[in-house]
Amino acid sequence: MLEELLRPFRYARIPLPKKTSFKKHGENRQRAKDWLGTLKRVWTYLAVYKKPLFFVLFMVIASSFLGLLGPFLIGMAIDDFLVERQVNGLIEVLVGLLIIYILYSASLWLQNVTMIKIAQKTVYTIRTKLFKHLHKLPIPFFDKRQHGELMSRVTNDIENISATLNSSVIQILSSVLTFIGILAVMLWLSPLLTLLTLITVPLMVLGMKWITRRTEVFFKEQQKQVGDVNGFIEETISGQRIVKTFSREQHVIDEFLIKNGRLRRASFWAQTYSGFIPKLMNVLNNLSFTIIAAIGGLMAFNEMISIGVIVIFAEYSRQFTRPLNDLANQFNTLLSAVAGAERVFDILDEPIENDKKQARALSSIKGNVRFDHVSFSYGEEQILRDLSFDVSAGETIALVGPTGAGKTTVINLLSRFYEIDEGQILIDEYDMKTLKRENLRQHMAFVLQDSFLFEGTVRENIRYGRLNATDEEVEEAAKFANAHSFVSKLSKGYDTLLLQDGSGISQGQKQLLTIARALLANPAILVLDEATSSVDTVTEIKIQEALLRLMKGRTSFVIAHRLNTIRQADQIFVLVGGKLIERGTHHELLDCKGYYYEMQTN
């Protein structure tokens, strides 16, 4: 039992930061690149609600004034009524205090409710913009990012912004106004006691500077580690079958402990340093109160000030440090929110897929495709080298070759998921770069090895191919795809609810539904990427029949390793090392006894 409890500490020991090396250590961590610039960007979203913000400001001013007025009247009442033993007028003062505190509470409630509404509308706008922007980003962006880490930015980081806007904005404004108001009244009542009270301010400033310089580093690191942990969890849950198949449960648990330990370590130091602030403020607050009590008592004894003024100072001294304390605490919260906002804006600053201004949209295409001396590289690794070929409309092309030959890359370039380095790709004699991406993809459909279904009904998943399709058209597409028979046997037929990624039906059934989806889209160009590689023989026959119907009259690109999938193709392209080394029909390539022949006989 003890060993289990101590296991996380073996992977995540908490190092004690050394004073001499902390700055250097902090520089190795990610700091906010431009936190003032990030705050300005957040303000551009807030500025849309200027009238409600002015109302909040007015309520903050009112609550700050009323909060200062209460202690002042109490002090005056002590001098005017209690010390002088006068009862007349005391009732009026007490009623006035009651009204003041009722108004004070009402102003707090109004400013909080209004600010929450503004904050939620602002966060709604940012989250919506981020989600829309994610759908405009190119595929290479997602290939380089963990999905869980992206989810963390959409959820955790935006929630940090929300929490800060809900409370911190009001708290900062109120603290600043309260501090100024208290300082002004204290100077008016007794400059000497005010100066004595201010002795603790330099200590507060130095302490907060020392603390916040460190918390900034760790709050940024904390956000980063949260993203890493979320990404790992999402990846592990998605790959549970593989984890269990290879009995790697303990391995992923150990790796999670390492990542979770890093998060715990960053969170520990962020919260530890930020936790110093209220402790420091309490010590200095008590020191300030002691000074006022001692010096004020001597001054009152010598009749330099009244007892009521001492009471006002004693109360204001506590309120005097409270705004500074609140500012320091909110500054830490602000740093966490800025770290989250910066991560959100990093995504929003990613370049989107942009079409040329003169890009055209074609109402229909025949399906003629030409690769003209096309070259492409992933980073520094060249995948395709001077690739050229022509495909006539309605032809079925099979792409074969060893792993890494460039087969999938050809498909990615054809769909403009990636941009070519050199050469041209022509669709019906139009340079692909002159066509709008969205319009081009509307004329294409994909049936991939990993069939993906959304959470929703069977009908909705098929209709995803063409959103304005009628129920009759959806069912007709399912019949052509050999999916109607198994769908009809489901508990609610086409209205059966599928879980995320189609859990609850077999892989072959998922594939039949994706074929029905492609049929409904009625594309001119069809892409089949290992569409039958993970199904049994009986299901493969059904899928093959559906695919033949789907490919009829359409330009089709097929990537497959099984001979019966590609032998009926009009042309077979053999790719090796990014080059087209052979092309022809199945029988022509066998007669040549080249690379394709060796693939089939080995």
Give the model confidence (pLDDT) of 46-67 as tens digits: 888 989 999 999 998 898 888 8
Residues 301 and 336 in one domain: yes
What CATH number does residue 322 fall under?
1.20.1560.10
Mean pLDDT across 434-451: 85
Q: Looking at the domain assignment, is residue 360 inside a domain?
A: no
Q: At residue 137, what are phi and psi to the nearest 5 degrees?
A: -80, 150
Residues 508 and 558 in one domain: yes
Q: Looking at the domain assignment, is residue 509 inside a domain?
A: yes
Of 357, 366, 492, whose CA–CA distance to 434 is shortest? 357
> Is pLDDT at 34 greater than 50 in this prediction?
yes
Torsion of the alpha carbons at 588, 592, 593 and 594, rounded to the nearest 10 = -100
350-399 pLDDT tens trace: 888 888 888 888 888 899 999 999 999 987 788 998 999 999 999 999 99
Banded pLDDT at 33 (limits 50, 70, 90): low
Cross-strand bridge partners of residue 447: 528
Banded pLDDT at 8 (limits 50, 70, 90): very low
CA–CA separation, 365 and 370 (whole Å):
14
| Contact in structure between 198 and 10 (CB atoms under 8 Å) | no
Residues 91 and 167 in one domain: yes
Q: Which residue has the higher pLDDT, 315 or 509?
A: 509
Q: Looking at the domain assignment, is residue 13 inside a domain?
A: no
Residue 482 domain boundaries: 369-601
Mean pLDDT across 453-480: 88
Helix H or strand E segment including 574: strand 571-576
Q: Looking at the domain assignment, is residue 102 inside a domain?
A: yes
Banded pLDDT at 14 (limits 50, 70, 90): very low
Residues 508 and 389 in one domain: yes
Question: What would the two tokens of residue 202 be?
Answer: 């330099």
Mean pLDDT for the chain overall: 80
**193 exposed, middle or buried (CB, 10 Å; 0-12, 13-18, 19+)?**
buried
Report pLDDT for 387. Answer: 92
Q: b/e string for 200-238 if b means 16 or more Cβ within 10 A?
A: bbeebeebbeebbebbbbbbbbbbbbbbbbbbbbbebee
Q: Looking at the domain assignment, is residue 7 inside a domain?
A: no
Residues 378 and 321 in one domain: no
Banded pLDDT at 5 (limits 50, 70, 90): very low
> Is pLDDT at 247 greater than 60 in this prediction?
yes
> Is pLDDT at 516 greater than 60 in this prediction?
yes
Q: Looking at the domain assignment, is residue 28 inside a domain?
A: no
Which of 9-18, 333-342, 490-499 is most confident?
490-499
Report pLDDT for 157. Answer: 86
Residues 335 and 391 in one domain: no
Report pLDDT for 27. Answer: 35
Strand order in the sheet with 444-448: 444-448, 525-529, 555-559, 396-400, 571-576, 579-584
Q: Which residue has the higher pLDDT, 346 or 70?
A: 346
Report pLDDT for 11. Answer: 35
Q: Which residue has the higher pLDDT, 233 or 5?
A: 233
Q: Looking at the domain assignment, is residue 194 inside a domain?
A: yes
- Of the residues 314, 348, 382, the one at which a domain ends: 348
Residues 396 and 282 in one domain: no
Residue type, 457: T
> Is pLDDT at 24 greater than 70 in this prediction?
no
Report pLDDT for 28. Answer: 36
What Å distances lie between residue 290 and 207, 282, 310, 321, 569, CA to CA? 20, 12, 12, 14, 92
Q: How large is the angle between the packed helices 471-480 and 507-521, nearest 10 degrees?
A: 120
Q: Looking at the domain assignment, is residue 358 inside a domain?
A: no
Residues 306 and 436 in one domain: no
| Contact in structure between 441 and 415 (CB atoms under 8 Å) | yes
Identify the residue whose tokens are 């992206």.
150
Of 416, 422, 413, whose CA–CA distance to 359 is shortest? 416
What CATH number does residue 431 fall under?
3.40.50.300
Residues 323 and 425 in one domain: no
Residues 387 and 341 in one domain: no
112-129 pLDDT tens trace: 899 989 989 998 999 889
Q: How many folded domains does the chain comprise?
A: 2
7-21, 101-115, 387-401, 420-434, range with the lowest pLDDT:
7-21
Mean pLDDT across 527-536: 68
- Of the residues 287, 313, 348, the one at which a domain ends: 348
- Of the residues 283, 318, 348, the one at which a domain ends: 348
Residues 6+ apart with CB under 8 A from 31: 216, 217, 220
Residues 181 and 232 in one domain: yes
Banded pLDDT at 94 (limits 50, 70, 90): confident
411-432 pLDDT tens trace: 889 988 888 999 999 999 899 9
% of the chain surpassing 90 pLDDT: 13
H-state helical runs in 436-569: 437-442, 458-463, 471-480, 484-488, 507-521, 537-551, 563-566
Report pLDDT for 425. Answer: 93
255-311 pLDDT tens trace: 888 888 888 888 888 777 777 766 777 777 777 777 777 777 777 777 777 777 777
Residues 416 and 459 in one domain: yes
